[in-house]
Chains A and B, each alone.
Chain A
């Protein structure tokens, strides 16, 4: 049986890289005593697939991993069992059973939504000064519109071997300014409402766009220097495409009991 787990990763946990997050869940699943399926062979490993790797330094309220299990009692009990073995900054949000025909998490991903706000932690311990950022601009909403209205948004992407030219425009599905609360409701600074940039971009394995690339291009467009640490980036949700709409990955599955 395929199970889809949705989790949040925030606070200090944003410094844990993708591979270490995988290791964390392998151990957590053993601690929670989940009857996970193992692969065949001399060194069997847990059957587990993560949706979209999250960069170090980015928080998320919409991370996913799929596992296969031999048995379970109910998705609710599994959610509780996993919840008990988490650490601060890692929360289990939902556990769903998937139809057998569903593609694995990684292959399903189509898009991701991000919230970008000014970082409270932008006071620079190194230079001791506050870094200029987009939110200091008076007419940011108009700038965003103008940015999106361009025919092309060309950027250069540095890969290990070469630099490639890329047009961001078709990969940006939405870019706007929103008054939003922190997504980590009841966990931290929930009362804090901030003006934030919302972006919905391509996150599929073939056309993934990093939010920092869009931010960088936006800063260039607004003619201000780009400092990554001046922004707090949060992935809000990871989507798959269903007919002609994006739906959250968790909506493919359902609650169930055996």
Chain B
């Protein structure tokens, strides 16, 4: 049996096992290990299992251990810890509070504040689902209490939560950086403008929605004095400081992304203790939550690394690149095909799963077209972000549905999401058509 045949069988096995609910990490590692064993065993033409065992286990160990035994990737547990610590230290909720106090007078102001709160939360944490789940608990019940239409109250937070993937720091960018060997700092900087563009688009959607149908967001009598507004704004300084440390530090070349993560974790902890919002028990709980979350992420990444090494052995990626070259596909058609694949997968799979499954095949293809991998990373993350709110498996939608319970059934949330999806599609087209939107800041930072 030749390597490419084993490769095809392995891909089919992966898809079947994933469909049968086998955890992504276990699927990738077990299939890659067994298939690699067969490739080595059949290498000389006859089946020789003895020599295959050593080669396979060495390959499996070196790929998984080297990934975990990494200095650069320590930014993942640190950024995840930053999110948990900032939440427990009340830093993330202050952003939403400040936005709400300033915008509450505007029609739909609390929904706009929710989206901005999500943007601010995303600037500190790296996870869309964490963003939707945390902000969903704070903003959605408040909007429902104020008489907001459940479609607006839920969809604004579900869509706002997706900003966590694009606005740095983002766990998805870090994982993309690992698998494509591109600069994670550059990826972070590349996500800033598309993230802000999406945020502004979401705010615009709310404004237009409320302008056309004022009943979806009843106005509130609650008014804040100028003093209260400035106090709320000033109280959100820790969030601003952390964002400036991350982006300013990386942009100014003062820190690497890993160092920015560590400095921010220590800063958030010190601020939390100084403001008496965080205690030792809270810190310990936040770090424990971080450990559980990151170990699950890393097991997927390590398994994917083994899978990538296996894919390289099979030569399947080369076959696909050859096939696409023979088809003489134009760049526009190629990008449309890639977008379609990611959007379809995004309807059924989670973002990390999609990335680790597709990147081993996509990257050689994209490199053969001489495309910029930083720009392509932003496109991929934007597509994955869209997948978080598209039916039938829009993870963020399920997170919000879980928070609000019967007050807003899934179909109602999806009905509200369509307006935000239109903005996502427009931003995606802009990012794909004008790579400078993504590349401007990384190029300026050089």
Do A and B pair up? The answer is: no
Which residues from chain A sit less than 8 Å from chain B, CB to CB? none
Which residues from chain B sit less than 8 Å from chain A, CB to CB? none
